[in-house]
Chain A
Amino acid sequence: MVNSVTHAQAVSLTTAVNLSKMKISSNPVETLVAFSIGSGIGVAIHDSVIGVGGILNIMLPDSTQTSGISAGKSPFMFADTAVPSFIQALYEQGTLPERMKVVIVGGANIVDCNGLFNIGQKNREAVQTFLSQHHLNIHYEDTGGTLSRTLSLEIGSGCSSIRIFGRGELKV
C-alpha cells in the first residue's frame, strides 16, 4: 500500500491488488491497481451512483481442473469461484448490476501455434461466461496479444486506466 500526500487538500491512496486477490473500496481518494497482468484477467467494476468499486485479479479459469490448491483456500485465484464471489461482495456494498461499469484486461498468451497452452484465452472466456451469467455487460475490454498490462481504478471518478509498456496509458 502506498500513501502519498502532495499538499493538505490532495490526499491519494494507491492499493495494489495482487494475484488471486480482490479489493473493494468506497474511499473516493483510493486508486486500486493490479500490476503486470499476464495471462490472468483483471476485472474492474464500478458503480458511480454510490461510488463503490473493486478490482479482481484472477490467474486461472477453472478450479475443478487444478489439484493441490483448492478454491476454498484461494477463492479469488480461479474465474469460476472468483467472479461470482466478487460480484456478490459488490452487491453487499449496495451496487446494482444496471449501474455497474465493467472493464476487463489481460488474457495475454505465449506465442503458441497449436493453442495448447492458451490460458489467457481460457481465462477471458471464463470471466466473460460468469459475467454473462450475472447479466453484466463489459463496458471496455483489452485482452489477448502478448503484452502484459497494468489495470487501475480510481474509486472517486470510476475511471479505469490500462497501461502497456511502449503504448502509454488509456483511460476508460
Chain B
Amino acid sequence: MINIEDIVDRITLLEPVPPVAIQLLVLAEDSDSSTSEIADLLMHDPALTANLLKICNSAYLGLSRKVESVREAISFVGLDQIVDLVLLNSVAQNFQNRYDGYGLGEGELWRHAVSSAHIAKILADRYGASQIKHLIFTAALLKDIGKLVLGRYVAFSFEKINILVHSQGYSFNEAEKQIIGMNHEELGAMVAEKWCFSDRMTYIIRNHHLSDPATRDNPETALVYLADIICMMMGVCTGADGLAYRFYADVLNQLDLSVNDLHDVIAEMGERQPSIENLVNLM
C-alpha cells in the first residue's frame, strides 16, 4: 500500500484557491449581503477584475457594449453569472493539466468540472434550491479536486484498480480506497480543509459519491452527486474511471425528482454544451 502521508504532502503543490473566491462564495450565499459589497470585494483584486472584464467583453457573452468596471459588469451581466464566472476563473488553473492516471488529457478534467457545475445549477433550479445555487455550483466544480493529487497514484496502481472494477464489481472510488488506501473524495476533502473551504463545501466534496448511506439525506450533496452522474452519462470527458460509480435510486425520491426529470436535464445540457465549450476555452 502507498504511504498516505506522501499523498497528503502533495496537496501543497496545488495552487490554492484565492481567498477572494472563498469570501465571494460566503457573500453570495448570505441573503443579507448586498451587490455593492460583492462589487467592492471584487474591485480590490486587480488581477481578478482584469480577468473578469476580459471574459465579460468576450464573444462568449456577446454584450452590446464594452464593460469597463466591476459594477458595470454586474449591471450588464447579472450578479449570479458574475459570481459563477469569478469562481470558475479562480479555480481554472489547477484543472488545466493532464491527469494520466485517470486517462484525462490536457483540459479534460476542467471541461468535466465546468459541465458538472452547470448541470448542478440546472438541478438546483429544478429542485428549488436556488438559494444555495452558488454553493452547489462551486461544489460540483471542485468535487474532483482530489484527482489532481491522486492521479499519479492511480496511474501507478491502474492495473490493480482495473481488475477490482471490471472483475470484482467494485466502483472506481471503492477500488481506489482498496488499492491506494484512500479515494479521490477523501483526498478532495483534505484539500478543501487545507484551503479553508466552508464545512458544507468540504462535506459535499467528501461525500459526492454518496458512499455513506447517511449522506444521501443531504439535498445539496445529493444534487452534486446527480450532476456528476449525469455528466458521466453524457460522456463529458469521462476518463479511465468511465461510469464505474454507483447509482442510488432512493436519492431521486428524496429530491422528488423522476428519471424523466434527469432526461430533461441531459437534453437541456446537450443544448447548452456548445456555449459551455466556449466558456471552457475562455479560461
Q: Which positions in A face B, CB cutoff 8 Å?
A: 18-20, 35-40, 59-60, 65-69, 73-74, 77, 106, 108-112, 114, 116-117, 119-120, 145-148, 165-166
Contact = CB atoms under 8 A, between A and B. Distances in A.
Contact of A77 (B229, B259, B270): B270
B219 interface: no
A22 B239 CA distance: 23
B236 interface: yes
Contacts of A74: 267, 270-271
Interface string B225-261: 0000100111111111011111101001000000110
B245 A69 contact: no
Interface residues of B, number: 35
A116 B263 CA distance: 12
A68 to B, nearest CB: 5
B60 to A, nearest CB: 17
12 contacts: A38-B233, A60-B270, A68-B264, A69-B270, A74-B270, A74-B271, A106-B235, A111-B247, A116-B252, A119-B233, A120-B233, A146-B244
Nearest to A150: B235
Top-5 shortest CB links A-B: A38-B235, A165-B103, A69-B267, A112-B247, A39-B233
Q: Is the interface of B mostly helix, strand, loop or mixed?
A: helix
A67 B271 CA distance: 13
B158 A166 contact: yes
B131 interface: no
A35 to B, nearest CB: 8
Interface string B265-283: 0111011011000000000
A39 B236 CA distance: 11
A108 B243 contact: yes
B43 interface: no
Given A68-B267, A69-B271, A117 B259 contact: yes
B235 A36 contact: yes
A60 B234 contact: no
B7 interface: no
